[in-house]
Chain A
Amino acid sequence: MKSPSSLVCDGTPVNGLMPVDTVADMIRAGARLSLAGRKAALDALPHGDWIGGTSPYFMTESGGRVISDKEVFVTDLAAIGDVSIGTYSAHELACISGEAPDQGFALAVIPAGSHCHTEFAQNAAAYPMAFMRPTIGWIAGYDLAEPGAQAFVYDGRAGKALSDAVAVAHVTFTDDTDALLEIVNIFGPDGGDVIHFEEAGFTPEWCQVNGQRKRFCDYVVERGREGGDLPLVGDFGGAKVNASLKSIDTAKGLVELYAPVFPGVDYAFAGPVGDYAQAFRRALATRATDDALWSCNCILNFLFGKLEGVAIGGAAGPVTFGEIAYQLLNQTMVLVRKA
């Protein structure tokens, strides 16, 4: 990766890790930024035109990294377009796309486990302007090695950590282009059972497997999928949208997912992926990513794929507790570029 100073000076848009002090200088100079890092690092930054979210995990050009509180991941939004910043509460989430520009996108950061996270996950596709004014973004997380840690997002104008709000940067393109959202999902249906759910939600109790009603927990055990490394893959008009397993309590018969499932969607368990990094490299080889403006990838890919220190290609970005491309996704890389 280039040094921070060369990134600033040679005209290349900033999208990478930088020292906290350098980021503070950029904010004081009036930069408009999207930031990600540990809470201690984000708390130390001055007020200004930035949004942020907590995560210590990142994919960089040289591989996955777990960073300290001395660094912050920076995306220079002003290099992409005109920027306006806002925050939204759980009952205002439809306004994220509603107030987004006609040409550009909304970049949203939501704290994991918050009411906003649940509301967005269940309703995003139904927001009136959801497909006219696209939303990308990520679910902020925390260091899984820190007991009791919590996710936060930031509106840099107030410099305050928010545990249940959505920090949003509306980015307006100034060159008559449109935002093109893309996903890289290395998982696909295993070609076996087709699963349907009766109700929308994160904790489905019942499902239909090839038309036969079963307790979902029993089915997960029957398939030997308690490990949680392989998600459910939903067919959304041909797009593969994952819902990953968060936990299973066989004694209580409960399965919790990282994203909701929906009735009327064909689901299947994903087939196994041996080498995550190779699967990403193969998928990314078929598309242009040099012009990606922003990207994120999932913590479950980072962990199950053992991506720390491993380069996979594509654009650098935060490793997240959920990804957003119009709606909440799991175990997926998200990219946005101009078209």
Chain B
Amino acid sequence: MSLPASNSPVWGRLASGGLSRIQTSHLGTQMLIKRLELSKDPPATKATEIYSYFQKWERSLANEVAQLARL
């Protein structure tokens, strides 16, 4: 599965709580999930950060990318 485009609503859903439902054993992703959960940034800012993160690490996050469609 390819990465959804930056304007996909999936990023907003992840920023509004969906990220915590991703099953992952990738250390950086786990720690980012907690960082964003604790962050007071607005959802739009979080959504941009999540998209940038997945774009950067897409090759290492095949299992996580495959989960995006159902979140």
Write out the residue numbers on chain A whose beta carbons fall within 8 Å of the beta carbon of B52. Answer: 132
Decide yes or no: A326 and B28 within 8 Å by CB, A132-B53, A178-B60 being known contacts.
yes
- Are B28 and A125 interface neighbours, CB within 8 A? no
- Are B28 and A327 interface neighbours, CB within 8 A? no
Instruction: Write out, one digit per residue, whether chain B residues 35-46 have a CB within 8 A of any chain A CB (1) or not (0).
Output: 101100000000
CB contact list, A6-31 vs B, under 8 A:
none
Please measure, in the bound complex, the distance between the C-alpha atom of A88 and the C-alpha atom of B3, giving whole angstroms. Answer: 36
- Are A178 and B27 interface neighbours, CB within 8 A? no
Q: How large is the interface on A (under 10, 10 to 19, 20 to 34, 35 or more residues)?
A: 20 to 34
- Are B60 and A237 interface neighbours, CB within 8 A? no
- Are A132 and B27 interface neighbours, CB within 8 A? no
The A/B interface has a contact count, at CB < 8 Å, of 59
Write out the residue numbers on chain A whose beta carbons fall within 8 Å of the beta carbon of B31. Answer: 125, 131, 236-237, 239, 241, 326-327
Instruction: Write out, one digit per residue, whether chain B residues 3-43 have a CB within 8 A of any chain A CB (1) or not (0).
Output: 00000000000000000100011011111111101100000
Please measure, in the bound complex, the distance between the C-alpha atom of A132 and the C-alpha atom of B50, giving whole angstroms. Answer: 10
A325's partner among B27, B34, B37, B38 (CB-CB below 8 A) is: B27
- Are B60 and A238 interface neighbours, CB within 8 A? no
Q: How large is the interface on B (under 10, 10 to 19, 20 to 34, 35 or more residues)?
A: 20 to 34
| Least CB distance, A334 to chain B, in whole angstroms | 9
Please measure, in the bound complex, the distance between the C-alpha atom of A264 and the C-alpha atom of B37, giving whole angstroms. Answer: 9
A181's partner among B24, B25, B28 (CB-CB below 8 A) is: B28
Please measure, in the bound complex, the distance between the C-alpha atom of A326 and the C-alpha atom of B27, giving whole angstroms. Answer: 9
Task: Classify the secondary structure of B's interface with A.
Answer: helix
| Least CB distance, B17 to chain A, in whole angstroms | 13
Write out the residue numbers on chain A whose beta carbons fall within 8 Å of the beta carbon of B70. Answer: none
| Least CB distance, A242 to chain B, in whole angstroms | 14
B24's partner among A132, A183, A238, A262 (CB-CB below 8 A) is: A238
Write out the residue numbers on chain B whose beta carbons fall within 8 Å of the beta carbon of A238. Answer: 24-25, 30, 33
Decide yes or no: A132 and B25 within 8 Å by CB, A236-B30, A237-B30, A326-B31 being known contacts.
no
- Are B32 and A131 interface neighbours, CB within 8 A? yes
Chain B interface (Cβ < 8 Å from any Cβ of A): 20, 24-25, 27-35, 37-38, 52-53, 56-57, 59-60
Known contacts A125-B31, A132-B53, A178-B57, then 9 further A-B pairs from the complex at CB < 8 Å, ordered by chain A residue: A125-B35, A131-B31, A131-B32, A132-B52, A181-B27, A237-B32, A237-B33, A239-B30, A339-B59
